[in-house]
Structure 1
């Protein structure tokens, strides 16, 4: 695996040895490549039990819900800041 120098070689190895590669092996292949990491995660999901898949989906939903709340708070804070800025500008 140390001989995998470019993305093409990594992808070829990934597809050729997908069934017999261990998690540690995948980590060596993946390195910093997020696309190969996502491909590995998608492949790995096919081996999950129904309970594992439900747990994963619930966690994803929790993460997305938390992000939506944070995005809403940020937009609200920006709007309040603009309103306060306008109010201060009128006073001056």
Structure 2
């Protein structure tokens, strides 16, 4: 088993020994190869009862639904954050603009007084 060096050898081993190897056995052989692990899990499902398959599919659906809700909430939070940031930026810009305008008006007023 230690002589499985590349992906081709791992796939050959998978096809040759699929029926007699457990998931633990595959983990020792294939290590972190996610694709082969998923192939084994799919093959293993053929031995499941109908109730086990239904339970598994319901769990997958629950996970996907939760992920969709999380993604939606994240997108909504980002949009709200951008809107708040934009509004705050506009408000700060107005305050800064008013202060600059006021300062400029004071300078112009002082200049007019000096010119008279």
Indicate whether the TM-score tops 0.5. yes
Gaps of 5+ in 1: none
Gaps of 5+ in 2: 87-102, 107-113
- Which stretch shifts more, 81-90 or 23-32? 81-90
Per the normalisation by structure 1, the TM-score is 0.88
Per the normalisation by structure 2, the TM-score is 0.71
CA distance in 1, matches of 2:104, 2:77: 16
Conserved 8 A contact 1:45-1:53? yes
Q: C-alpha displacement at 1:89, in angstroms?
A: 23
Number of aligned positions between the proteins: 92
C-alpha deviations, 1:14-37, integer Å up to 9, x for none?
001111113321111231000001
The structure with the largest helix share of the pair is 2
Q: What is the RMSD computed on CA atoms of the aligned residues?
A: 6.7
